[in-house]
Structure 1
Amino acid sequence: MKNQLILPQLRCSFEKKLPDSRVLLVAGGRQPASEWLAQAATQFPVWCIDSGVDICHMNNIIPERLIGDGDSATSQGWSWGKGLGIPVETYPPEKNLTDLQLALQTVGSLHGEAMVVVTGVWGGRFDHAFSNIYSLKGCEPFGIRGCCADEKEVLILLKGKDSVVIDMVTHPEVVSLLPLSSECYGVCIDGVHWPLVDVQLHDTLPYAVSNRPSQLGTSITVTIEAGWLGIYMCWDEKGLNK
């Protein structure tokens, strides 16, 4: 459906219509589990960002495009990607923009509006994760919406006025609401142990963290009237097997 985003462990139904074009960007951070990546790749065309080509190579996933400076990819993986006959955009290592930012710009130029899922962004340096999340947020004026995801962590970006119903295949251990703008107004969350109704969240006091799903149902609903909100969920290895 046009307003749904489907990941292996959940399905998100948004109030606002999502773009028709979808892209899965595989970056070079923590490698997603092979089974998760294989399932996600059935939902989206795959692009590789720099050493993300090694992840696709190891999992025998053929990308549609390769972007980056190649400084963190292995020579074998980079040669494999260049030998696929797909478009390859190579940049010098000394540049202002990150490889992900260049990839997002390319998505925008080719598709206009697009829903982007970025994997391979967790498990590394905080500054990289911070840059990736805010770069994804910053592409919204160009028609790009998105999330960062793998089998252990998902961060969904929600901009008011909007809402999302998250149907869970497996319950996350933690659900946190992270204000990604100075203020978020009219924030509600239901289907969790500590629901919130029409609250205001500030980036200087992000207290709505470490919530957990209610045992009464299999869905979580989040609403925001104004501002930018990050809906963060994480699963441990045991939780994925429940």
Structure 2
Amino acid sequence: MNINILAGGPEEFLPNLHEYYSDNDIWVGVDRGVYTLINKKITPALAFGDFDSVSKEELLVIEGHVKEMKRYEPEKNETDMELALNWAVKQEPVLIRIFGATGGRLDHFLANVHLLVKPVLEKNHINIVLIDNQNILSLKGPGSYKIEMRVDKKYISFVPLTLEVKGLTLRGFKYPLKNRHISIGSTLCISNELISDHGTFSFSEGILLVIRSND
């Protein structure tokens, strides 16, 4: 089972959601993302939010399409996206895809990236990715990972999200590394590329933001 979550980010940053549609997947809408899913002929199984970003008319449409709505007051300690992601992690899916979480407000974007830290710290093995029409983002904890070449996302960047990432080794890349320590703020690992159909990366300490992009 996979869970797809659509947040309320600008629609111009969304990929074609129907490319990710499967009968085995659960779709979840967050705030205005619920209305966007309905407009794209995808009915979410659940809706999360305070719905302060939709009009009264749009809220009526949402209420007419979604059977299960988890509504919250605007004044709360968590964002709507955090509440939706916490629920999704508890379902123990194989994969969680998050759309509509980039673009627009930078505080929302950065908060959404940092929401992926908690599952890494808890050593949760669910694969969680943020996807827009140009990028795929994920967070990784210490370990060894295989990464496949994608012609539509040829650039691969590795960004430390902790003060230091230790022992970073890149194999099968245009710019390989062996057992390097990378400090937060370093741009050493920006815009790398695979030179074969797959490569590997590994590190021993820290949290690494992995970004696959294309121009």
Task: With the length of structure 1 as denominator, give the TM-score of the two structures.
Answer: 0.77
The equivalences for 1:1-242 within 5 A come to 21-31=1-11, 36-42=16-22, 44-109=25-90, 111-112=91-92, 115-140=95-120, 141=122, 143=124, 144-172=126-154, 174-211=155-192, 213-214=193-194, 216-236=195-215
Summarize deviations over 1:156-199 as a string: whole Å, max 9, x none: 21111231322315243x32101112221221223432122221
CA distance in 2, matches of 1:135, 1:65: 20
Cα offset, 1:107, TM superposition: 1.9
CA distance in 1, matches of 2:31, 2:78: 13
Q: Provide the secondary structure at the position in 2 that maps to 1:139.
A: helix
Q: Provide the secondary structure at the position in 2 that maps to 1:83.
A: helix
Q: Provide the secondary structure at the position in 2 that maps to 1:62.
A: coil
CA distance in 2, matches of 1:152, 1:204: 23
Question: Unmatched 5+ residue regions in structure 2?
Answer: none
Compared with structure 1, are the counterparts of its residues 53 and 64 closer, same or farther at alpha carbon in structure 2 (3 Å cutoff)?
same
Compared with structure 1, are the counterparts of its residues 207 and 97 closer, same or farther at alpha carbon in structure 2 (3 Å cutoff)?
same
Compared with structure 1, are the counterparts of its residues 30 and 222 closer, same or farther at alpha carbon in structure 2 (3 Å cutoff)?
farther
Q: Provide the secondary structure at the position in 1 that maps to 2:11.
A: coil
Cα offset, 1:112, TM superposition: 4.5
Task: With the length of structure 2 as denominator, give the TM-score of the two structures.
Answer: 0.86
- The answer to whether the 8 A contact 2:28-2:47 is kept is yes
Q: Provide the secondary structure at the position in 2 that maps to 1:168.
A: coil
CA distance in 2, matches of 1:85, 1:126: 29
Q: Provide the secondary structure at the position in 1 that maps to 2:200.
A: strand
Of residues 62-71 and 224-233 in structure 1, the stretch that sits farther from structure 2 once superposed is 224-233
How large is the Cα RMSD of the aligned pairs?
2.4
Compared with structure 1, are the counterparts of its residues 54 and 145 closer, same or farther at alpha carbon in structure 2 (3 Å cutoff)?
same
Compared with structure 1, are the counterparts of its residues 193 and 90 closer, same or farther at alpha carbon in structure 2 (3 Å cutoff)?
same
CA distance in 1, matches of 2:160, 2:50: 32
CA distance in 1, matches of 2:101, 2:152: 21
**Residue identity in the other structure for 1:45:** I
- The answer to whether the 8 A contact 2:47-2:70 is kept is yes
- The answer to whether the 8 A contact 2:28-2:45 is kept is yes
Q: Provide the secondary structure at the position in 1 that maps to 2:165.
A: strand
CA distance in 1, matches of 2:18, 2:50: 25
Question: Unmatched 5+ residue regions in structure 1?
Answer: 1-20, 237-242
**Residue identity in the other structure for 1:68:** G
Deviating above 4 A after TM superposition, structure 1's stretches of 4 or more consecutive aligned residues are 32-35
